[in-house]
């Protein structure tokens, strides 16, 4: 991870990669929730890598198998009426994209 470049990340490209990763994680039953540009980097070959999964959770049929830490995006999603893992993750992703695009 220390070899990843986190300063030369193309925002638009990173968001497209994150959309793909989000869909892939959901198929595996993973709600990432901690979507932010600080959690993505590029290796020497130009491949994007997502890291910092400590706030993520694992679910099956919208029930938590491993519940994530109750942090900002999780709290905000609950306050806005989202209760299932998929909806919590969906709520946190647009917040990430709208907060970084001017």
Condensed to tens digits (0 to 9), the pLDDT of residues 4-47 reads 666 677 888 888 888 888 999 999 999 999 888 778 888 888 88
**Contact indicator for 91, 82 with CB cutoff of 8 Å:** yes
* Residue 101 pLDDT greater than 50, yes or no: no
Residue whose pair of structure tokens reads 């892939």 in the numeric block: 24
Sequence length of the chain is 102
What's the pLDDT band for 80 if we cut at 50, 70, 90?
very high
Q: Could you tell me where the DSSP H helices lie in the chain?
A: 11-28, 72-79, 85-100
Instruction: Quote the tokens at residue 57.
Output: 């959770």
- Sheet containing 57-60, strands listed edge to edge, beginning at the edge strand earlier in sequence: 30-31, 57-60, 63-66
**Contact indicator for 54, 36 with CB cutoff of 8 Å:** no
- pLDDT, residue 17, reads 86
């Amino acid at each position: 991870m220390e070899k990843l470049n986190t300063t030369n990340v193309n925002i638009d490209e990173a968001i497209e990669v994150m959309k793909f990763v989000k869909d892939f994680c959901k198929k595996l039953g993973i709600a990432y929730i901690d979507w932010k540009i600080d959690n993505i980097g590029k290796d020497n070959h130009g491949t994007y890598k997502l890291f910092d999964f400590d706030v993520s959770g694992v679910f099956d049929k919208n029930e938590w198998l491993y519940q994530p830490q109750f942090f900002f995006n999780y709290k905000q999603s609950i306050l806005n009426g989202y209760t299932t893992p998929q909806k919590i993750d969906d709520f946190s992703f647009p917040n990430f994209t709208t907060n970084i695009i001017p």
